Structures are given as C-alpha cells and as structure tokens.
Amino acid sequence: MNRKLVKRDFPTKTTFSQRVRRLSAGLLTTTGRVLHRSGVHPDALTLAGLGMVALASLFLAQGDWLLAWTILLLGLPLDALDGATARARGPARPFGAFLDSTLDRYADALMLGSLALHYAQTGALWLVGLAIVALHGALTVSYTRARAEGLGIACEVGWFSRLERLAVLLIALPLNALDERSLNVALIILAVGTQITALQRILYVAKVSHQPEELQAP
C-alpha cells in the first residue's frame, strides 16, 4: 500500500497583519470587484504601488519627511487592492502573486536604502548601519516565509511582517518632522524587530519540521 507523509503545522497566535486583513476584507473585496469591472488590471496596481514607493523614496533621501509620508500613505491602498482585484478576476494567477511579492522586496529596498543614503549624506553612519540591518532583516523575514512555504510549511509567525514595518515608518515620518529622533527610534525598532522576527520563523520551522510525522494511506 502506498503511503505518504503528512505534516501538521502548530497553531499560532493571530498576527496584527492577519487581524487587519480580516477587518478590511469586506471593503477590499467590494473595491476589487469595482476595479475589475472597470477594466483595471491587478498587475497595473502592483506596478503603480511600486512607483509611489519609488517617488516617496526620492523625498526620503532628501529628508522631506512629510511629503514622503503623504505619498506612501496615498500609495498604501494599492498594495492591498492588487490582490483584491486579482481575486475578483477569478482563478489565481501564479505570476501575479509572484510579481506582487517580488516588487514588495524592491519597495523594502527603496525605502530603507533611501534612508541609508540620507543618513550617509548627513554623516550619521550609525543610522546608516541601522538602516542596512533593518533592510537585511526585512528581506530575511520575507525569505524565511517563502522558503518555508516551499517546504510545505505555512509560516506567518513573528512580530514584524511587512504591514507592521510599514506602520512603524508611517508613524515615525510625520513625527520626525517635529523631532528628528523619531526616525532614529523607528530604525532601531525595525533593525531589532525584523531580526527577531526572522529568528521566530527559523525556530517555528525547526519546531514544525521536527514534529513526529503521521503516516496516512491515500
């Protein structure tokens, strides 16, 4: 008799990102259907979202915090509406999901890289280092999830997924216009928080992958 190995994931706590997605699901679904009926392609929304981040990053590099914050805030809905519009189209398209995830990494690099560039120009090398560590952490958080899912393990655990990272920046940018220490604190939070999140995912995958496997007949 042929048998296959079946691995169960451990239950995890609901993350902030998951709560936000659940609360906004109805509105996003409705808006996604409207955009689909209007002929808007989800990939166009994904590309437009990256364009908004790229524009905001130019102002981040120049230290124009309020303008960068405004552009990021205006572009934020695009990051959610591309998925909602794609779902309204019908069957899932692997390339759309791949493009969305890939361009999110470009967006991470643009935002944190532009902050590193700004602080390099001002001579605050310790803040350049924090931005680099935060960028490394952001990419590692994403990679650990993608690699785990490639192994068949759902991995959304951790404190600082992309939505949490965006929230930290969106809170700190307008405050930084009043007190320039705000972004310093935000970069410390992002640098430490992303590294901890990557470690949380590594430990979670280690726990799941070492659990006893059940043999089930097909």
> Distances from the Cα of 189 to the Cαs of 51, 76, 124, 130, 210, in angstroms?
26, 21, 17, 9, 31
Dig out the tokens for 107 from the structure: 């967006």
The full length of the chain comes to: 218
104 is known as an active-site residue = yes
- Determine the distance from the C-alpha atom of residue 104 to the mean position of all C-alpha atoms in its chain, rounded to a whole number: 6
Cα separation, 206 vs 201, in Å, equals: 8
Contact 184, 65 (CB under 8 A): no
Interacting residues of 208 by C-beta distance below 8 A, sequence separation 6+: 7, 9, 10, 153
Please tell me whether residue 10 adopts helix, strand or coil conformation. Answer: coil
The catalytically annotated residue of 79, 82, 100, 104 is 104
Which residues are designated catalytic? 104
